[in-house]
């Protein structure tokens, strides 16, 4: 059976989405949430790790914290960039204040830090604030 494996960011269920349905707003078979929403979604550490490990679509994570001024500055740029990747890449946000183990486990030394994961491995990383155009360019070069 063909298709791409995608983890639902809401319930954590792994879904297999046919290739021709990726651009048609596929929904989770368990909870009905959109899987390719074109939005940067806040996720918990367990869901992020499951998606990074199992998904067939590249995953970009923004490690951030609510008290971080630069993180708040980049947030709308990152959210806007997610729309450009609606069919090919999924973007998530991971709050390092809520999940301090994530910062240690992934060697995050400063926030905001974005990282690209494909096939269970980190492929690229960027720390600091970028405007939307630079985020889009960096993601395209990294996936």
- By annotation, the residues acting in catalysis are 68, 71
Between CA 82 and CA 90, with CA 85 as vertex, the angle to 5 degrees is 70
* HEC secondary structure over 8-29: CCCCCCEEEECHHHCCCCCECC
Q: Which two tokens stand for residue 72?
A: 């708040």
Query: Roughly what angle, to the nearest 10 degrees, separates helices 132-142 and 69-83?
Result: 70
Strands across the sheet containing 59-64: 41-42, 90-95, 59-64, 113-118, 121-127
Query: Cα torsion for 106, 108, 111, 114, to the nearest 10°?
Result: -40
């Amino acid at each position: 059976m063909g298709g791409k494996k995608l983890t639902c960011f809401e319930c954590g269920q792994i879904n297999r989405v046919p290739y021709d349905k990726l651009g048609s707003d596929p929904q989770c078979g368990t909870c009905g949430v959109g899987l390719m929403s074109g939005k940067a979604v806040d996720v918990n550490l367990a869901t992020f790790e499951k998606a990074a490990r199992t998904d067939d679509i590249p995953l970009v994570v923004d490690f951030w914290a609510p008290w971080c001024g630069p993180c708040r500055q980049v947030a709308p740029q990152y959210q806007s960039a997610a729309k450009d990747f609606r069919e090919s890449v999924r973007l998530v946000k991971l709050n390092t204040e809520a999940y301090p183990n994530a910062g240690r486990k992934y060697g995050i030394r400063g926030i905001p830090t974005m990282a690209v994961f494909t096939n269970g491995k980190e492929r690229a990383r960027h720390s600091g604030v970028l405007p939307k155009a630079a985020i889009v360019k960096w993601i395209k070069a990294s996936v």
